[in-house]
Amino acid sequence: MDRDTTFRVRRAGPTDVAAIARIEVETWRATYAGMLPDRVLIGMSERRQQGAWAGLVRYRPGDVIVVEEPEGGIVGFGNCGAQRDPTLPYSGEIFTLYVTPDAQNRGVGRHLLGALFERLLYKGNSSALIWVIRANPSRFFYEHLGGKFILTRRIRVGGEPVEAIAYGWPDLSALRRA
Ligand SMILES: CC(C)(COP(=O)(O)OP(=O)(O)OC[C@H]1O[C@@H](n2cnc3c(N)ncnc32)[C@H](O)[C@@H]1OP(=O)(O)O)[C@@H](O)C(=O)NCCC(=O)NCCS
C-alpha cells in the first residue's frame, strides 16, 4: 500500500478529546479482544475516557500528541511522561500509542512514536520505555523500531492482571541522530 505522509503530528487540544476517546475505545476493542475479558472491553465508556483525556490535555499540555489527516481527522494519538517505576533506569515512558485500525500500516505509528520521543527529550528525558501486553502482536512494532527487551512483569490493564513486556530505548538522542 502507498504510504500517505500528508498527515500532521501535533499536540492535542481540548477539542481533540472526543476523537481520542473514540479511537481509544475502538482500538482497545479491536486489539484486546481475546486478550482482556469481554466485560472490560464492553464496559469501556467513551464519555468516561473523554473526562480522563480532558484532564491530561489540560494539566499535561504537550504530553498528549495526535496525528491528523487532512480529510480523515484524527487517526492516532499517544501520550508520554515521567517513567513510573524508580527501580528501572529509564526516565521517560510512553503510556499510550494507538492508531485507528483503518489508518494502520501507513507510517502513522512511527511518526507518533518519534514525536513522543521528541517530547520526552524536550522535557529532559534521555531514555524511554513502554509496557505492552505480551500477547499483543503490536509488540513487534516496538522491536522493529529498535525497542530493547527489558523485562516481563504482571501488570494491570483495565483492572486485569496480564503478562506484559517492557521495551526500552536507552538513548533517545542517539536515536534522533540516527
Ligand atoms: C502498533 C501500532 C501503533 C503501529 O502503528 P502503525 O501506524 O500501524 O505502524 P507504522 O505504519 O508506522 O509502521 C512502522 C514500521 O513498523 C512496522 N510494523 C507495524 N506494525 C508492526 C507489527 N505489528 N509487527 C512488526 N512490525 C510492524 C511496519 O511494517 C513499518 O515498518 P517499515 O517502516 O520498516 O516498513 C498500531 O498498529 C496500533 O495502534 N495497533 C493497535 C493498538 C496497539 O496495540 N497499540 C500499542 C499498545 S502498547
d(CA 72, CA 57): 21
Helix segments in the chain, DSSP class H: 17-32, 38-42, 46-59, 108-122, 139-144, 172-177
pLDDT of 5 reads 63
> Can you give the pTM of this predicted structure?
0.95
On whether the CB atoms of residues 98 and 23 are closer than 8 A, the answer is: yes
Nearest atom, ligand 1, residue 108 CA: 7
**138 CA distance to ligand 1 centroid (A)?**
6
Nearest to 147 by CA among 132, 162, 160: 132
Ligand 1 pocket residue status of 86, Cβ below 6 Å: no
Say which amino acid occupies 60: R
Ligand 1 pocket residue status of 132, Cβ below 6 Å: yes
Nearest to 50 by CA among 21, 90, 84, 92: 21
Instruction: Indicate the SS3 state at residue 60.
Output: coil
Ligand 1 pocket mutation pick from 141, 143, 144, 167 by most atoms within 8 angstroms of CB: 141
pLDDT of 16 reads 98
Ligand 1 pocket residue status of 92, Cβ below 6 Å: no
* Phi and psi angles of residue 135, each rounded to the nearest 5 degrees, phi first: -80, -5
Ligand 1 pocket residue status of 114, Cβ below 6 Å: no
pLDDT of 3 reads 53
Q: Output the CA–CA distances (angstroms, integers) from residue 93 to 30, 120, 142, in the order listed.
A: 24, 8, 13
Give the residue whose CA is nearest to atom 21 of ligand 1.
141
Angle (CA) 155 123 173, round 5°: 90
Domain ranges in the chain are 8-177
Those residues of the chain that have pLDDT short of 50 are 1-2
d(CA 61, CA 47): 20
Task: Decide which of 3.40.50.700, 3.40.630.30, 3.40.50.300, 1.10.10.10 is the CATH code for 8-177.
Answer: 3.40.630.30
d(CA 70, CA 158): 32
Ligand 1 pocket residue status of 107, Cβ below 6 Å: yes
Instruction: Indicate the SS3 state at residue 141.
Output: helix
